[in-house]
Structure 1
Amino acid sequence: MRLNRILLSAALVVLALVVQVSIFARLHLPGAVPDLVLLVVVALALVHGHTAGALVGFGAGLLADLAPPADHATGRYALVLCLIGYLVGLVRPETGRLRSATVPMLAVLAAAIGSTLLYALVGSLVGDTAARHVGLTGLVCTAALYDLLLAPFTVPLIMALARRTAGDPLTAEGTAVATAEGPYSRMSGGSFRVGRASRTGRKNLMGRRSWIGGQRGGLLVRSAKKQRIKIKGGKRL
């Protein structure tokens, strides 16, 4: 990942975590808490792909595990967001552009439900049964509702900011990767295509060849004329 992409992702995650802990957690809404960190991970994964989504999800989850008032085992939410970021990144189209808002909204819905279920599952494996006492069904429904209401105001903005740093060929999965070592660039299917630079080089090369050929032709014509003049002069003598 590029430095500007890392800085932007880190800034968005920290800002989302601060807003979530200082504002959303104090609203005392029924059921779950709106998960702004999850929305950031989903938006970045939709733009940058599954590799960046998994990395951002792990870092964001680890910060959420360490941020107060965390009352669960460290690494629990990091594992959940890492899996969510990876799975959401697989939905990213090959062109990196989404033509409608249906895919992001479905990704947010699936991420909200999946993160809540995975969090409860991991908690049950480590002996945390708090989700059973609160009601897992109510947590899933409220988490999906809150995240869907918050997504139209956050996900498009985050994706627009992330697209400005999406020109890095290191994490552009499924798209053509241009190499600076030659005039050919490799496509996702293993084939090759000729780039604009190679076409321009070919045009310049053809122009140089024609110019050199013209110069040679001119020299040959001039030498032939000189020989004719010499021959004519010999006849006159």
Structure 2
Amino acid sequence: MDYSNRRLADQLAAEYALGTLRGGARRRLQQLLPAHPTLAAAVRAWEARVNTLAAPVPDLPPSPRVWQQLQARLFGPAQAPLRWWQQLALWRGVSGLALTAVLALGVWVLQPVPVQPPLVVVLQGTPDGAALVPAGFVASVSGDGRALVLKPLGEARLTAGQALELWAVPPGAAPRSLGLVSARAATTVLRSDVVRGAQALAVSVEPTGGSPTGAPTGPVVSVGSI
């Protein structure tokens, strides 16, 4: 996973600062901070935002005009001047409403956002690809659908002029390219709604640089249902 990517770092930092990143994932992120400056900076920025919610709010008394308008609205313009204990009760009521509103806002902001588990897709080899990619792939899609990591389960046997390309396959529609992928190491794809509307993922063999037509041109060597 590319922790130098600002969008990914910002997402992880937000979950960490708000407390929705828990357990082993939280401990792993803490271990990664010293070695990833972008991720560490994002965590500091999010912690500063969250800490502002705990800052004290100074008292701000209303102006005489606002106070008179408030009295007139609550008790009518013809009311006699409020005695000091009536003013005290009114102020306490207004303060109580303000405190309730602040607490409700704080609870809403700090409400843990439900974290969707990642989606795992196993891509199995096809008869056409058995000689080139015998072991297939495993794809992990983040819960928010903005990142995909594809890992080969074995080493593909490609020539110098061949490359592997990943496709999202919608039902009844043409495959959508997700870019070239490595035949030996994990590949990360960052894109909004990376598998939106797709019912399967597929890997095909293409010329170096990818398909020249925008559709698979070589054999499809691995397929997995979502």
Query: Which structure is higher in RCO with an 8 Å CA cutoff and minimum separation 6?
Result: 1
TM bucket (normalised to shorter chain) is: under 0.3
Larger helix proportion, structure 1 or 2?
1
TM-score, length basis structure 2: 0.21
TM-score, length basis structure 1: 0.20
Structure number, greater radius of gyration: 1
